[in-house]
Amino acid sequence: MLCRLSRSIRSHRTPAGAHSDRRFSAAPCCANQEPRDYSLPNPTWSPDTKRLYEELSRDQSWMRISSYNTNFHQEGISLEADRKTRLFTRNLDQDGVGFEYCMFYNEAEKRTICIFQPGPYTEGPRGYAHGGCIAAIIDETTATGILLSCRRSVTANLNINYRNPIPLGSTVILDSRVEKVDGRKVYSSCRVRSHDDSVVYNEATALFITSKLEELKAKL
Amino acid sequence: MLCRLSRSIRSHRTPAGAHSDRRFSAAPCCANQEPRDYSLPNPTWSPDTKRLYEELSRDQSWMRISSYNTNFHQEGISLEADRKTRLFTRNLDQDGVGFEYCMFYNEAEKRTICIFQPGPYTEGPRGYAHGGCIAAIIDETTATGILLSCRRSVTANLNINYRNPIPLGSTVILDSRVEKVDGRKVYSSCRVRSHDDSVVYNEATALFITSKLEELKAKL
């Protein structure tokens, strides 16, 4: 069962192709607009990114995870409140230049899949994604999986092996799993590979510390 | 001695306060403008960030490292060429909302100091910097140190412990050192602490693989 806090970020199942009219908006949400769900396709997504999105949307064992440019909703705070900050992985106004991604969660397997397309503003080595950009999407994917399988948490350790560089504009798949829960410690793994499974880019482990229950209750 | 490739990113010593008129420009550089050096102060820097910048600028054992929104200059490519991409840690148009940082290198100690101020668009947990943002600045700092002490390299492993969360807008110090060179493998460490040394935020190790000399020569 998903915990109470995590329910707010689960989306209702959206049939592939049946998206809202807001999906092509490049403007960030503000106090007078309904918040934009960035997990829905936009025209900058490549055919590979869209294909994987549609495949997972059709698969009943996977649940699409809504994604906004803040994580406040995880704390029960209105998405419109205090718009001075932005989630690091959703901080650019223009679609397609930074992090383009959507996530799906498989409750039975405690797995989170992230379909990720790094844009031209995520560059490190010439033509390839920055190591820190890769670390960020690994951190975001593993943290989302832990939120959905356990509860809210903070990163305590990230250990990332970089096997091959990720070309800008390519479509990659992050496959994360909760491996072990030991009290408030949650151990996860994450593997990053090309959309056609031909290249392994990264292998990572992560340790997260979940929030104390009393801290969470105090915020509800 | 700094290697040939790394010379291009060393700045001439700039007396504290004697900055160019371009320092307050928020616009990204383009084909018709001189590239902007983001390592110079701008009005969004906090008093603590400015104080540390000035202290290190005055210290003859430290060399300020110029920083642009691309790493192309490291490969001897004009900064004006192919402006479709941006360095991940310099990808926002507006000053102060993302990564604000400057780096200094101490050749005798093979140490790199980065003065870092994470803005409101680097958020992870509410009010604090995203784990991936911290990983990115650690990666960038250690890679810069290796470029200056050895040569260009790619990240092979990042292992980061997160001891305490970094408040948005605070000034932190990254202190990185090349620990060991074993053929093309370079091992570095990095410690992230508050500007007043009262809090340790992160401790990290990194492994980089330097480029083969023949690959570098082919690009010169």
Question: Cα B8 to chain center, whole Å?
Answer: 15
Query: Which range (A63-67, A69-73, A185-189) has the least confidence?
Result: A69-73
DSSP 8-state assignment for residue A191: E
- Choose among A140, A159, A162: nearest Cβ to B155: A162
What local confidence, expressed as pLDDT, does residue B33 receive? 61
Question: Which residues of A are less than 8 Å from B129 in CB distance?
Answer: 88
Active site residue B182: no
Question: Please, are residues B131 and A132 in contact by the beta-carbon 8 Å criterion?
Answer: no
Measuring CA to CA, which residue among A102, A106, A122, A105 is closest to residue A114? Answer: A102
Task: Give the mutation candidate from B75, B153, B161, B162 for the A interface (greatest A CB count, under 10 A).
Answer: B162
What local confidence, expressed as pLDDT, does residue B3 receive? 37
Say whether A92 and B92 touch across the interface (CB within 8 A): yes
pTM of the model: 0.85
Confidence check: pLDDT of B111 > 50: yes
Confidence check: pLDDT of B204 > 50: yes
Two tokens at B208?
Answer: 């980089």
Two tokens at B197?
Answer: 């040394």
B:68-107 residues touching chain A, CB 8 A cutoff:
70-72, 75, 77, 84-89, 91-92, 97-98
Which are the contacts of A65, defined by CB distance < 8 A and separation ≥ 6? A9, A10, A11, A39, A102, A103, A104, A105, A112, A144, A148
How close B109 gets to chain A, by Cα (Å)?
Answer: 25
pLDDT over 90 percentage in chain A: 68
Helix (H, G, I), strand (E, B) or coil at A178: strand
pLDDT over 70 percentage in chain A: 76
Tokens 């190790």 label which residue? B205
DSSP 8-state assignment for residue A51: H
What local confidence, expressed as pLDDT, does residue A42 receive? 98
What local confidence, expressed as pLDDT, does residue A4 receive? 36
Q: What is the mean pLDDT of the segment spanning B147-157?
A: 89
What local confidence, expressed as pLDDT, does residue A211 receive? 80
The answer, for A162 touching chain B at a CB cutoff of 8 Å, is yes
Two tokens at A51?
Answer: 């294909």
Phi-psi bin for A17: left (phi > 0), alpha (psi -120 to 50), beta? left
The larger pLDDT score, comparing residue A153 to residue B45, is at B45
How close B117 gets to chain A, by Cα (Å)?
Answer: 14
Q: Cα separation of B160 and B192, whole Å?
A: 10
What local confidence, expressed as pLDDT, does residue A77 receive? 57
What local confidence, expressed as pLDDT, does residue B152 receive? 83
The larger pLDDT score, comparing residue B107 to residue B32, is at B107
> pLDDT tens digits, residue range B17-27?
333 323 223 33
Angle between helix axes B131-149 and A131-149 (nearest 10 degrees) is 160
How close A18 gets to chain B, by Cα (Å)?
Answer: 30
Q: What is the mean pLDDT of the segment spanning A6-18?
A: 43
Q: Which domains does chain B have, with CATH numbers?
A: 4-10+36-219 (3.10.129.10)
What local confidence, expressed as pLDDT, does residue A33 receive? 62
Confidence check on the interface: ipTM exceeds 0.90, yes or no:
no
Which are the contacts of A19, defined by CB distance < 8 A and separation ≥ 6? A40, A41
> pLDDT tens digits, residue range A125-168?
999 999 999 999 999 999 999 999 877 889 999 999 999 999 99
Where residue B72 falls among pLDDT bands split at 50, 70, 90?
Answer: low
Confidence check: pLDDT of A2 > 60: no
HEC secondary structure over chain B? CCCHHHHCCECCCCCCCCCCHHHHCCCCCCCCCCCCCCCCCCCCCCHHHHHHHHHHHHCCCCEEECCCCCCHHHHCCCCCCCCCCCEHHHCCCCCCCCEEEEEEEECCCCEEEEEEEECHHHECCCCEECHHHHHHHHHHHHHHHHHHHCCCEEEEEEEEEECCCCECCCCEEEEEEEEEEECCEEEEEEEEEECCCCCEEEEEEEEEEECCHHHHHHHC
Backbone φ, ψ for residue B174 (5° rounding): -100, 130
Question: Cα A120 to chain center, whole Å?
Answer: 19
The larger pLDDT score, comparing residue B130 to residue A211, is at B130
pLDDT winner (highest mean) among A1-5, B33-37, B173-177? B173-177
Query: Which range (B15-19, B29-33, B59-63, B169-173) has the least confidence?
Result: B15-19
Q: Cα separation of A219 and A75, whole Å?
A: 7
Q: What is the mean pLDDT of the segment spanning B102-116?
A: 97
Measuring CA to CA, which residue among B124, B205, B201 is closest to residue B166? Answer: B201
Q: Cα separation of B146 and B123, whole Å?
A: 28
The larger pLDDT score, comparing residue B29 to residue A178, is at A178
